[in-house]
Amino acid sequence: MRAGSPRMLREINDRAAIEVLLREGPLTRAELELAIGLSKPATAQLLTRLELDNLVTKAGVRGGGRGPRAQLWAANGGLAFVAAVDLTPHVADFVVADVAGVVLAEYRTPLPVHAGADVVGTFGEALQKVAEEAGIEREDLAHVVIGAQGAFDPRTGLLSSAPHIPGWLGFDVPQKLSDELGVDVLIENDVNLVAVEEMTVGMAQDVDDFVMVWLSEGVGGAVVIGRRLLRGATGGGGEIDWMRVPDPATVDTGDVWPAAGARFGNLVDSPAICRLAAAHGIQADTAWDAVAKTGPDHPFRHDLAKRVAGGVANLVAVADPQLVLLCGDTSRAGGEEFAALVQEKLHELVLPRTPVGCASVQGNAVRAGALQSALATTREDVFGVVTPTLLGSRRPEGDSTRPRPTSPNR
């Protein structure tokens, strides 16, 4: 096909229109015309063409004003359906949406994760239940993305660094789930998915390079370079738990660290922060409780900020990001005041004046990021709309016999 041919131009304009409708929701012809820069006749022809191809549908009318009500157009969400799951040791949080992003059903339930549990069977039952609540069958799901606290190796399908969900270890997770449940499944690190959500609707929308540090019961991280998640050769990109860093605390917490330094995860997970708080005379059951009990100038806060900054400094020294975002329960408890304190301590350790802030996405950011990833993959299959920053890490070609979904519209 010659560059600039009428057919190619139509395809470019069609994709541009669908991208706008997916991003903005239902629009009138005039609004779409303005968004994609086409003339009124060209936009009308485009909508007619897309409607005939079943890619867009009429979505009611917009009232208001003295003139006639304007027809609204939307991407056809009924062409495909996706599911997203936040899998934790305590509860699994499911959501099903159509390919336009309209949420159809949500479901929360505890799932067994202990060694020897039928994790595939119980997961499949929960997925079937939420699919039925959405008015579809489980097999109607084009793509399912699971967020889990661990590292996923796309070469082998194995989860690692996940002792809290032992039942999910030791087997090719996406392959087994896909084969036994009859749907295409991807599993992804939970903090990576939070980063995806921050890139989509949060503080990192206009940032090319940033890192995230998750502080909650445990510790996690994500690194984004050039708007792409850095996953690493074995899926361990951003697994900052194992970094060796010195303990800069000014009080004796009773911990004895090796000469090589403490594991970062052993310094800033919830039990470690509670011990640090106790050494400062603060009794708390969780790290976020300890942070909430103290003001921004409390010595405990300064010691904790030093610990966090010590780990962040390693990331900044290597990646030199534009932004560092703190997320998780502990970070939320401290808010922007704690982020500013971490920034102050960080700038004492590194040359770049990298800003430190708090992640802005509210609610279950892991599930929301999983949904964004599932939608991106499915939209590529259905509409040909590519969103590289949000695509999941599909297994390298040749490493899997699992067929890639094919849209009937392509």
| pTM of the predicted model as reported, rounded to 2 decimal places | 0.87
**pLDDT of 270 over the 80 cut:** yes
Once rounded to an integer, what is the mean pLDDT over residues 72-97?
96
**pLDDT of 161 over the 90 cut:** no
Once rounded to an integer, what is the mean pLDDT over residues 291-316?
97
Once rounded to an integer, what is the mean pLDDT over residues 400-406?
37
> Going by CATH, does the domain composed of 6-75 fall within 3.40.50.920?
no
- Comma-separated ranges of CATH 3.30.420.40 domains in the chain: 79-193+365-390, 205-358
Reported in sequence order, the residue ranges of 280-381 that DSSP labels E, i.e. its strands, are 323-327, 356-358
- Percentage of the residues of the chain whose pLDDT score is greater than 70: 92
Check residue 400 and give its pLDDT: 42
Once rounded to an integer, what is the mean pLDDT over residues 254-278?
94
Question: Residues with Cβ < 8 Å from 381, sequence gap 6 or more?
Answer: 80, 142, 143, 404, 405, 406, 407, 410
- Comma-separated ranges of CATH 1.10.10.10 domains in the chain: 6-75
Closest CA to 366 of 164, 161, 174, 220: 220
**pLDDT of 401 over the 80 cut:** no
**pLDDT of 320 over the 90 cut:** yes
Once rounded to an integer, what is the mean pLDDT over residues 70-85?
96
Task: Provide the pLDDT confidence category of residue 314 given band limits of 50, 70 and 90.
Answer: very high
Once rounded to an integer, what is the mean pLDDT over residues 331-342?
97
Domain 79-193+365-390: top CATH class: alpha beta
Residues shown for the chain? 410
SS3 192: helix
pLDDT, tens digit (0-9, with 9 covering 90-100), for 117-144:
999 999 999 999 999 999 999 999 999 9
Domain 205-358: top CATH class: alpha beta
DSSP state of 140: G
Cross-strand pairs, 27: 73
C-alpha radius of gyration, the chain, whole number: 24
